[in-house]
Amino acid sequence: MKIAQLFNSLLHKSAPLTKPDFISANSIKDAENFLQDNYGIKTNYKGITLEGANRLTTQLVFLLNNYPVKITTFSIVELNYTTYAATDTENHTIALNTLYYKDLDKLNKDINNDMKKGWHPKTTDNKGPEFILTHEYGHIIRKDKILNTPFEKQYTKIWDLAAENPTHFANTLSIYGTKDSSECFSEAFGEALHNSHPRIIAQQVMEIVEEVFK
């Protein structure tokens, strides 16, 4: 093999430096293929609408481009009614619950109700289905990029201070965020990306995230 050919073949083996923008797909299959072909993510959108597939792909591509982590599988699966989604940080998989995601308007209403009750942080973009995905993605960021790194110490300070006063904490982030340090992180990340004026905990967590990915 000539040097030029060798160089060329090496170039072809490496990942493309820039990935194409995601433009709304015309079919669910195309949206699944986009994530598979450009990000190596095994995607299964069974049970949702084309609008759902396009919205989730748009949000996931935004997250992957700005806060790159490894995701192996992204799927819509039937979970029980007590949960919107499930993430396995060991295997880098995110699963969203068909029972909710089959009807985006109803899901958005459910999440708006959660927000009114303070269960989840208030968002300003009215994108409940995307907020849940961002929250799940936050779990993978914490596991891969923050836990067991010096950033965890910085984050623990925020969590410890917040956990000292649970009522104030719930009012400054969300009730669900008080559950443990992992949910606090994801709720704050979700607020930071979906509220045009994120509050103090979301701001502080986001400062760490920006530092990690700068």
Contact residues for 26 (Cβ-Cβ < 8 A; gap 6+): 50
Tokens linked to 121: 């942080």
Minimal distance, residue 34 CB to Zn ion, in Å: 26
Considering beta carbons, is residue 32 or 187 the nearer one to Zn ion? 187
Measured from the CB of residue 101, what is the shortest distance to Zn ion in angstroms?
16
Q: Which is nearer to Zn ion, 8 or 156 (CB)?
A: 156
What amino acid occupies position 65?
A: N
Cβ nearer to Zn ion, comparing 127 with 135? 135
Is 124 exposed, middle or buried (CB count within 10 Å of its CB: 0-12, 13-18, 19+)? Answer: exposed
For Zn ion, which is the closer residue by CB, 178 or 186? 186
Residue 24 CA to residue 38 CA, distance in Å, equals: 15
Q: Hunting for tokens 């669900």 — which residue is that?
A: 176
Give me the least distance between CB of 138 and Zn ion, in Å please: 8
φ and ψ of 94, to 5 deg = -125, 130
> Considering the complex, what minimum distance in angstroms separates the CB of residue 168 from Zn ion?
21
Question: For Zn ion, which residue has the nearest CB?
Answer: 186
- By CB under 5 A, name the binding residues for Zn ion: 183, 186
